[in-house]
């Protein structure tokens, strides 16, 4: 399991929207502030909307806002909204995938590591992430660097 670029973009998007809680953020502002190409922003927004994490407001004055409070959204929620269920090894997701699973000395270890990883991702909600390092301003302009 690798957290890819799309998952990273989704985390950035939700982190920025968490700071703007309750407000609609325009596509342009969001794309610029968190450095997401506009071509991917819509796709990511749709995936987060399907997962019931983000509301997409269409039309003039449209944009994105959170459907839930930042403390109700975890890293696991966002990653799984984009990637699907997180699992370490195929045998963890599909026990019948490997005929050796019942006798494999590592199989139970993969299951334990997978469960701990998922639980750890659940402990990081977006309110906690915001308070960890102060306000998240997204991408800094050249003047701010």
Helix, coil or strand: residue 21? coil
Pair 45, 54: CB distance under 8 Å:
yes
Give the alpha-carbon dihedral of 119, 79, 49, 37, to 10 degrees.
Answer: 150
Q: pLDDT of 112-136, one tens digit each?
A: 988 999 999 999 999 999 887 655 5
Q: Does the pLDDT at position 7 exceed 70? A: yes
Q: Higher model confidence: residue 105 or residue 8?
A: 8
Q: Does the pLDDT at position 145 exceed 50? A: no
The strand pair at 63-66 and 54-57 is best described as antiparallel
For domain 5-133, give the CATH number: 1.10.10.10
Give the alpha-carbon dihedral of 42, 48, 54, 60, to 10 degrees.
Answer: 10
Q: pLDDT of 71-104, one tens digit each?
A: 999 999 999 999 888 877 777 777 677 776 667 8
Mean per-residue pLDDT, 24-42:
92
Q: What percent of the chain has pLDDT over 70?
A: 86
Q: Higher model confidence: residue 57 or residue 107?
A: 57
The residue among 71, 59, 73 whose CA lies nearest residue 24 is 59
């Amino acid at each position: 399991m690798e957290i890819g670029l799309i998952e990273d973009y989704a985390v950035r998007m939700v982190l920025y929207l968490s700071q703007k809680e309750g407000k609609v953020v325009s596509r342009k502002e969001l794309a610029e502030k968190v450095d997401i190409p506009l071509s991917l922003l819509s796709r990511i927004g749709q995936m987060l909307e399907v997962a019931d994490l983000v509301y997409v407001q269409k039309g003039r004055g449209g944009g994105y806002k959170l459907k839930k409070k930042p403390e109700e959204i975890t890293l696991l929620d966002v990653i799984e909204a984009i990637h699907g269920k997180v699992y370490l090894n195929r045998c963890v997701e599909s026990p019948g995938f490997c005929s050796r699973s019942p006798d494999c000395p590592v199989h139970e270890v993969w299951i334990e590591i997978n469960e701990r990883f998922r639980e750890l991702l659940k402990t990081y909600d977006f309110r906690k992430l915001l308070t960890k390092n102060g306000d998240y301003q997204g991408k800094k302009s050249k003047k701010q660097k």
